[in-house]
Amino acid sequence: MSEQPIEHQFSFADCEIKKEQSAYNGFFTINRYSLRHRLFAGGWSGVVERELFERGNAAGVLLYDVALDQVGVIEQFRIGAHRQEGSPWQFEVVAGIVEAGESPEQVAHRETQEEAGLTLQELHPIANYLVSGGGTDEQMALYCGLCDLSAGGGLHGLAGEHEDIKLHCLSYQAACAALDAGKFNNAALTMGLFWLQLHRDRLRGAMLK
């Protein structure tokens, strides 16, 4: 039996925003919405209130050196991890917010220079996903960025943005072992490494011909 591709039952027309007001406007923005939406069983929901952390679009890059078979991972302090066991420092992909007039690809190149001191050779799309659709509108365009990690490592980041970033260059095997051991509790990094496990042979075959 052939299966039909899955599609959404509802669209934007099936959600009605009654009221929008600012709840907080500082380093980040939070808005409060009163809304209703159609129900799967039929009819409409009652009016519900939701706060939304409005961060916008972002781009992230898993750094990979085909020739050395190495993965580049950055490490920095994150306030959101300060109650986590182990450490409030996170292992992550290079990432940044897409500013007005920028494309995600441009952000990927810019942030790789700022956070890792490296120049990307190629970009391979991995996914474009909502980070946590229940509470924020942040959407991540995630890539695998091919680069030269032979001179990688060191400290990076913009002092004016209070960035203190360390670049780690790991063998592919060491990166996968760290993932399996639960060392990487970051969604973009986890997703990127799962993608690399599926596509590594293709990338290496194309580059090393």
Q: Which residues participate in catalysis according to the annotation?
A: 161
Q: H or E segment at 34? A: strand 29-37
At 194, is the secondary structure helix, strand, or coil?
A: helix
Angle between helices 187-207 and 172-180 (to 10 degrees): 150
CB 34 within 8 A of CB 18: yes
Q: How many CA atoms lie within 13 A of 120 on its CB side?
A: 23
Bridge partner list, 96 = 59
Q: Residue type for 74, please?
A: I
